[in-house]
């Protein structure tokens, strides 16, 4: 399993960045920064490291935005990338770094071209508490011409160093804390019930399931700094699991929904979480029950009730409903068939086909249109 070579964590740990750059012998970093983070205090502190920065992207970055970033990167003799942001920013930086080191166009790597060498060194500073993109060998980029999110895996994507500083999360609004935290929770749960889970991965996922509930609730309700730090560390560790185990239909569906509607990844996962788990539970009864016990619930129903309450009280339900209300003609079959091509389908606990996937989509959308949890 590939992991970042260097991980620095703790509140205020971003102050080690100059020392880290010296230690890695990097003198001229290019900064990729989320446009919203750039305006926050945490982002402003980091702009001192940039001769030039790139923030020309939003949620679900596109190939044309990768190309813009690559163009800026090639204008100077940059020796590395510092990326500051959530999964979108980190995935974008990974693809810029890989393409800069290997040549050609970014799209070619998503059409089967293999990279031969490691990306330019990347220092990832995540500013959400869930994506784990900073510790994964994957990148997802939006092909807006179709529209479709394309994902690839490469060991050369792995950032060289990661700084997990929970001060980066202080300016996150509560819905984003909940959405990224619930994305991390789903990574762990899906990994635990996966068909490909092993004794080794379940030892890790059990520990993470035991650890996540309290920081998730405290981070949301109190914006507690230690809880945010714990959540960030759990998300980082969870991402090390699922290149081995794969995920499930909830994640498989989140990407086409995000591509068609622009919905944030964490919220797209939450849209399908309950219905996907209810579909799967008959095929993974023991591991699902064990997961629930690790989170602190004695029955499946208690776990589902907690999930529903969290999704509702965090404001995620309202955000998802408001976002999806204008998409009353979504191409359900197309979303379903794209989901079924996902690399997460072979690990889905229960066999699934087109009609079952369409049912999950329709039921999930109906739940949110009716005011989730009412
Ligand atoms: Fe995710």
First CA to last CA across the chain, in angstroms? 43
342 alpha carbon to ligand 1 midpoint, in Å? 13
Find the mean pLDDT for residues 90-107. Answer: 96
**Mean pLDDT across the chain, nearest whole number?**
93
Cα dist. 296→213, 293, 310 in Å? 8, 5, 15
Nearest alpha carbon to residue 141 among 128, 130, 154? 154
Domain locations in the chain as residue ranges = 6-168, 173-369
Q: Which among 344, 340, 334, 338 is positioned nearest to 353, based on CA atoms?
A: 340
- 3 state DSSP class of 153: strand
How close is the Cα of 270 to the center of ligand 1, in Å? 10
Whether 6-168 shares its CATH topology with 173-369 is answered no
Domain 6-168 bears CATH identifier 3.40.50.1970: yes
Q: List the alpha helices (DSSP H) in 223-299.
A: 225-245, 249-261, 265-280, 285-295
pLDDT in tens, 269-293: 999 999 999 999 999 999 999 999 9
In angstroms, what is the span from residue 9 Cα to ligand 1's centroid? Answer: 21
Q: 305 CA distance to ligand 1 centroid (A)?
A: 22
**How far is ligand 1, taken at its centre, from the CA of residue 179, in Å?**
10
How far is ligand 1, taken at its centre, from the CA of residue 59, in Å? 14
173-369 placed in CATH 1.20.1090.10: yes
Residue 372: the pLDDT is 83
Ligand 1 centroid vs 251 CA: distance in angstroms?
6
Q: Tell me, in angstroms, the distance from the centre of ligand 1 to residue 25's CA.
A: 33
The C-alpha atoms of residue 311 and residue 354 are separated, in whole angstroms, by 27
Q: What percent of the chain has pLDDT over 90?
A: 77
Over 80: is that where the pLDDT of 340 sits?
yes
Note the residue count of the chain.
374
- Radius of gyration for the chain, computed over Cα atoms and rounded to the nearest angstrom: 20
Span from the CA of 76 to the centroid of ligand 1 (angstroms): 34
Spacing, Cα 197 to ligand 1 middle (Å): 17
């Amino acid at each position: 399993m590939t992991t970042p070579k260097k991980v620095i964590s703790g509140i205020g740990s971003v102050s080690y960045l100059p020392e880290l750059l010296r230690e890695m012998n990097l003198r001229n970093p290019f900064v990729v920064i989320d446009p919203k983070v750039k305006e926050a205090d945490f982002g402003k502190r980091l702009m001192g490291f940039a001769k030039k920065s790139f923030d020309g992207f939003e949620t679900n970055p596109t190939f044309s935005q990768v190309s813009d970033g690559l163009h800026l990167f090639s204008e100077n003799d940059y020796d590395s990338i510092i990326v500051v942001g959530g999964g979108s920013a980190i995935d974008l930086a990974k693809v810029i770094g890989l393409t800069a080191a290997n040549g050609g166009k970014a799209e070619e790597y998503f059409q089967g071209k293999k990279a031969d060498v490691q990306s330019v060194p990347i220092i990832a500073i995540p500013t959400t508490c869930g994506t784990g993109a900073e510790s994964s060998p994957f990148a997802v980029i939006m092909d807006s011409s179709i529209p479709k999110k394309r994902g690839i895996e490469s060991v050369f994507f792995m950032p060289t160093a990661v700084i997990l500083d929970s001060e980066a999360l202080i300016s996150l609004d509560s819905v984003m804390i909940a959405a990224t935290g619930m994305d991390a929770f789903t990574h762990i749960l899906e990994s635990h019930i996966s068909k490909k889970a092993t004794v080794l991965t379940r030892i890790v996922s059990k520990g993470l399931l035991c650890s996540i509930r309290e920081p998730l609730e405290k981070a949301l309700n109190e914006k507690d700094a230690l809880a945010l730090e714990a959540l960030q560390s759990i998300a980082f560790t969870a991402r090390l699991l699922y290149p081995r185990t794969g995920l499930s239909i909830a994640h498989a569906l989140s990407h086409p929904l995000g591509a068609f509607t622009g919905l944030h990844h964490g919220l797209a996962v939450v849209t399908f979480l309950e219905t996907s788990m209810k579909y799967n539970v008959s095929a993974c009864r023991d591991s699902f029950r064990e997961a629930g016990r690790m989170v602190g619930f004695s029955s499946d129903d208690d776990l589902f009730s907690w999930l529903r309450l969290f999704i509702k009280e965090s404001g995620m339900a309202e955000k998802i409903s408001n976002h999806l209300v204008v998409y009353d003609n979504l191409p359900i079959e197309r979303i379903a068939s794209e989901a079924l091509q996902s690399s997460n389908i072979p690990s889905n606990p229960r066999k699934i086909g087109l009609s079952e996937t369409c049912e999950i989509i329709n039921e999930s959308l109906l739940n949110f249109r009716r005011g989730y949890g009412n």
